[in-house]
Chain A
Amino acid sequence: MDTLLEQIELGTLWQFPGGIHPPQQKTLSNDKPIARLALPSKLVLPLKQHIGANGQLIVNKGQHVLKGQALTQPSGNWSLPIHAPTSGEITDIAPMPSAHPSALPELSIILTPDGKDTWTELTPVTSIEQLSHQALIDLIHNAGIAGMGGAGFPTYIKADSQRPVEFLIVNGVECEPYITADDMLMREHAEQIVQGIEIMQHLLTPTITLIGIEDNKPEAVDALQNASKHNPNIIVRAIPTIYPSGGEKQLIKVLTSQEVPSGGIPADIGVLVQNVGTLFAVSEAVFKGKPLIERVVTVTGSTITDARNVWALIGTEIKHLLDSQGFEPVEAQRVVMGGPMMGFTLPTVRIPVVKTTNCILAPDNSELAHAGEEKACIRCSACADVCPQTLLPQQLQWFAKGKEYDKLESYNLFDCIECGACSYVCPSEIPLVQYYRVAKAEIREQKIEQINAERAKVRFEARKARLEQEQEERKNRHSRTSSRPAKPAAEKAKVADALSRVTQKQGEKSAVQAAIERAKAKKMADGSVQPDNSEMMQEREKRKEQARQYKAQKQHDDTPNDSKSAVAAAIARAKAKKAAKLSDDQAIADLDTTKPCASETPSPDETKADPRKAAVAAAIARAKAKKAAKPSDGNVPEEVSETAKTHSDTDPRKAAVAAAIERAKAKKAAKLAQEQGSDEAPHVNNPESGSKPELDTADPVNTEADADPRKAAVAAAIARAKAKKAAKLAQEQGSDEAPIANNAESGSKPELDTADSVNTEADADPRKAAVAAAIARAKAKKAAKLAQEQGSDEAPIANNAESGSKPELDTADPVTTEADADPRKAAVAAAIARAKAKKAAKLAQEQGHDEAPLANNAESGSKPELDTGDPVSTEADVDPRKAAVAAAIARAKAKKAAKLAQEQGSDEAPLANNAESVSKPELDTGDPVSTEANVDPRKAAVAAAIARAKAKKKRKEQEGNDPS
């Protein structure tokens, strides 16, 4: 018995199981030499043309590149570069249909040739002995060579195989019908192919190299035998023509009798297979320095008048290939990329030639008939007879149809090479391979999903563990602090400080002072609940106050005047505390006593500015606020004193203090509303609405203070507090006795909004813009809720009230736009506009559904006013930003109007439409003015963003309207 090597050298061939003999159709294209195509007008180069990752782009749009210049750079993970196939300009880098049955777009470089075809500098190697192993591998890598037989596996990885290679097999079989690209290449370039083989031999040092060529290509066999005469290690073998002997595993079996194990690769058995086209490309890359920029493509089929092989630049569109070979399409013409057995029908001919494209087949309908109807399996087992992988195609088909994926895997579906022999022989025309392809894709997807699910689970559990740990830590911290019974005053102050920080988390740090005050106020309240230690607490409080006073004096080298004021404040606080304690029993009596005190406080405030003082005053105010919260009336005098306070001169701290005051008031009002709203609303609501104006007028004063970044945040906090309050109010009242409540609300809203506009007048701060935007959106949400609540209960009056509020709401806009130019402000205004638009939209929907006539009148009445705001704003001095803002406003309004129109139009058009038509002209005049403003890049962006938001909203709206 001879050894395997001896047998091979003797010329023994083996047989693989199965196989078919489809019509060859090779003579169509193998009788003419390889032609060269005219330069196409455009080349489309997908970044990824092989198995593995794509390289990183190293060129830009508009750049001029030379022929052979690298366009991407490999970055590990099996990535390969691509090169410019000719010189020209990169006109675009965009997703384009890919050479894939789905033609899903893939990022591609679009190159417009300049016609000069200028090569970049090439560095050919004269002898491979000069180069180190790694240098040679890198050379092949950087030439972008991938397996050109069909799979597109990166050649440099194969050439760098770490495992010993016994047999290097050169695949020149080309068993698929029609294709003659390798055949013609072997005939014309046998020397280069042998050079390529020798490079591979140098890299891999195989025992022997076998070239397998089907015996239907005698010219190619001769050519290679001649070219390889000098090398005794190369054996050319003509093998029987049978499909699919060109399959890697089948060829290995035929030439060496060995079988690649299931799920393995040829390297497992010491075999490496390379396609002749790949070896030609390797030789070109090494000895001529040319990267892979063109390949031989067979253009064939009955509808091609000049069917032959052509040198096609990578990136040439299939259309160009077909046109240059004389394409006469028939009805229902199909163009197949690859051969008829394993290729795929192209969805479009605007697909580029890639590194793996070996054939373009344009058959007429008689040679490649359209698939007939699938009939039932008759269990003839012809498919099993022809399967070269000895699988059970019929069985696999049942499982694929039943989606039994685990069964498919146990029947070795993944050993299927998708050669199509089973489909070819099936008498029932069952597209077996298609079933397998679908099933394979499904299984792969499931595996990916399984991996993702596993990862999600791990992340979920990690998160849970983290949260639990945090909770635990928090609890520990809490128990530690509470376990200590008595704390020294200083530490307590620290705790209070921390507490205040926690509560202020989203607030600003400049308000720490205010926060401390609040924490104390809280403590005070606690004290009143527990009468036992209230005395102690008071004492401590007093001591602390004194200590602080002392410190303040030291720090600021105060005048006697200041210390006096502090003392006065302390007195006031003590009184306030007392009052708080007693308030439950003697609310009214206390009020009388404290009021004089309160009125005293303004006088010290008018003295010189001192940061501490302001804080003290704030504390007083808060104490009062609390007290007032319990008795429902009598809040007017206090507020007078507070407004007086805010007039004191400017200091950054003061703003924070004022904010605290506002918040306290807001809280108070909210509580009030809850208590009263549920009991006997009519009476209470009036006083409420009366109190609010005062509350709000305080805001402008605040914002007039000099610029401080924190202030903006403070103002935002105020606005939010108010928003909350209003929301609560609305809920409470809306459910009980809405009419009056709503009136009150409408009164409060304008002021709320004017506060905002004033905010924006403060000078530029990047944060502020974001804050304002947030406010606007929060309001929008609130308003939406409000609208729902009211709309469902008793819309008529509610709507009137709302419409009344709107004009005022909108007049705020001009003010903002008049403010000086600031890039952020534009964004702010846009946000406001959007928020308003949203609110209005919701409102409109609600009203439209319930009882349109009344509401619509009211709405249309409000609009004119609304629109007049625009001209004013646009007349302001020309500033690029401002114009954008105005445009945004105008557009928001336009939208509102449009929505309104839809709503009304569906209900009772005549009346409403009249009103609308009146309002619209005015609305439109706003736009031209704004557009006349000079052009600013930002503006365009802002406007675009707005437009997009609008489009989205409109679409949503339409969807919402359609069912109704």
Chain B
Amino acid sequence: MYALIALGSLALIFGIILGYAAVKYRVESSPIVEQVDAILPQTQCGQCGYPGCRPYAEAIANGDEINKCPPGGDATVKKLADLMGVDAKPLAGGEEAEPIKTVAYIREDECIGCTKCIQACPVDAIVGATRQMHTVIDDECTGCDLCVEPCPVDCIDMLPVEQTKQTWKWQLNAISVTQID
């Protein structure tokens, strides 16, 4: 009998402590949608079939395929697979595993100033006004392609991003040193 009371009171005390700790030291874990969204490349290109990266993140959280993001390439698929605990699979639609990063370029002498591309740009990376020449802010362009189709005079090209010394990667050819006499 005493044993029961003792154990019961102990259980109660620990229960209260645990309950308090759970409230007090609660760790805010970001919801899965946020985590998926953080992995996606944020090009907002809509190639996944959703209107932007976040909607796709929501869809993935609800069980959609993880291989619908061509701009992210295999790396993104791999990360998503790790996060979602599913198998990584090749990109849908036979896309290249390592996408070439591009930016839009407006041939300015051909631009008629229709503002259609401005309306299409998901990240406001195109500046211009009606009947004024438009141009793309390189640094802000995500290379999503969405401005190419609406252009009535086909004056937008998607150009690969030029490699600079900052983005250049070492090749695996070492200078080896050997002992000579």
Contacts and interface: CB of A to CB of B under 8 A. Distances in A.
Interface of A: 22-23, 98, 100-102, 104, 106, 177, 334, 336, 340-341, 343-345, 366-372, 423-424, 429, 431, 433-435, 437-438, 441-442, 444-445, 449, 452-457, 459-460, 462-464, 506, 767, 770, 773-774, 777-778, 781, 945
Contacts of B113: 770
A795 B27 CA distance: 70
B125 to A, nearest CB: 8
Interface stretch (B2-10, B86-94, B160-168): B160-168
B123 interface: yes
B176 A372 contact: yes
Nearest to A445: B167
B124 A463 contact: yes
11 contacts: A102-B168, A177-B177, A368-B175, A371-B176, A429-B176, A441-B169, A449-B41, A460-B52, A460-B123, A463-B122, A774-B114
Given A23-B179, A770-B112, A459 B169 contact: no
Interface in B32-63: 37, 40-44, 52-54
Interface string B92-136: 000000000000000001001110000000111100001100000
B66 to A, nearest CB: 17
B140 A459 contact: yes
A98 B166 CA distance: 12
A424 B174 CA distance: 10
B29 interface: no
Contacts, number: 119
**Interface core residue of B124, B125, B164, B177 (most chain A CB under 10 Å):** B177
4 smallest beta-carbon distances between A and B, as pairs:
A431-B174, A453-B42, A437-B170, A459-B123
A456 B142 contact: yes
A437 B170 CA distance: 6
A401 to B, nearest CB: 11
Interface residues of B, number: 41
A344 B165 contact: no
Given A366-B180, A463-B122, A774-B112, A456 B42 contact: yes
Contacts of A369: 176, 178
Contacts of B109: 945
A177 B84 CA distance: 51
A434 B124 contact: no
A77 to B, nearest CB: 15
B175 A441 contact: no
A304 B42 CA distance: 54
A453 B167 contact: no
B173 interface: yes
B6 to A, nearest CB: 46
Nearest to B101: A449
B22 interface: no
A460 B176 contact: no
B179 to A, nearest CB: 6
Given A104-B163, A441-B168, A23 B176 contact: no
A433 to B, nearest CB: 7
B153 interface: yes
B152 to A, nearest CB: 6
Please classify the interface of chain B as helix (H, G, I), strand (E, B), loop, or mixed, using the class held by over half of its residues: loop
B172 interface: yes
A12 to B, nearest CB: 32
Nearest to B144: A456
Contacts of A341: 177
Contact of B172 (A22, A106, A366, A431): A431
A369 to B, nearest CB: 4
Nearest to A455: B140
Given A441-B170, A445-B167, A778-B152, A454 B42 contact: yes
A369 B180 CA distance: 10
Contacts of B153: 774, 777
A293 B53 CA distance: 52
A98 B180 contact: no
B164 A781 contact: no
B42 A457 contact: yes
A452 B176 CA distance: 37
A453 B166 CA distance: 18
Contacts of B173: 345, 371, 431, 434
B172 A435 contact: yes
Given A770-B112, A777-B153, A423 B122 contact: no
A23 B179 CA distance: 7
Contacts of B164: 104
A442 B169 contact: yes
A918 to B, nearest CB: 33
A456 B168 contact: no
A340 B175 CA distance: 7
B131 A770 contact: yes
Given A100-B165, A435-B172, A368 B122 contact: no
Given A456-B142, A459-B123, A459-B124, 11 more contacts: A102-B165, A368-B175, A434-B172, A438-B169, A438-B172, A452-B142, A453-B40, A456-B140, A774-B153, A777-B153, A945-B109
A469 to B, nearest CB: 14
A344 B170 CA distance: 10
B170 A434 contact: yes
Nearest to A771: B112
Contacts of B37: 457
Contact of B178 (A101, A368, A441): A368
A101 B125 CA distance: 33
B180 A23 contact: yes
B41 A453 contact: yes
B172 A456 contact: no
Given A441-B169, A456-B140, A781-B152, A773 B112 contact: yes
Given A106-B165, A434-B173, A456 B123 contact: yes
Contacts of A336: 175
Contacts of B52: 460, 464
B24 to A, nearest CB: 29
Contacts of A343: 175
A101 B178 CA distance: 22
B39 to A, nearest CB: 9
A747 to B, nearest CB: 26
A478 to B, nearest CB: 20
Contacts of A781: 152
B177 A104 contact: no
Nearest to A343: B175
Contacts of A424: 177
B124 A340 contact: no
A151 to B, nearest CB: 15
A137 to B, nearest CB: 28
Contacts of A463: 122-124
Contacts of A777: 112, 152-153
A423 B176 contact: yes
Contacts of A367: 178, 180
Contacts of A100: 165, 168
Given A424-B177, A456-B43, A438 B165 contact: no
B122 to A, nearest CB: 5
B119 to A, nearest CB: 9
Given A463-B123, A777-B112, A104 B174 contact: no
A457 B174 contact: no
Nearest to A424: B177
B177 A340 contact: yes
A423 B170 CA distance: 15
Given A100-B168, A104-B164, A344 B43 contact: no
Contacts of A429: 176
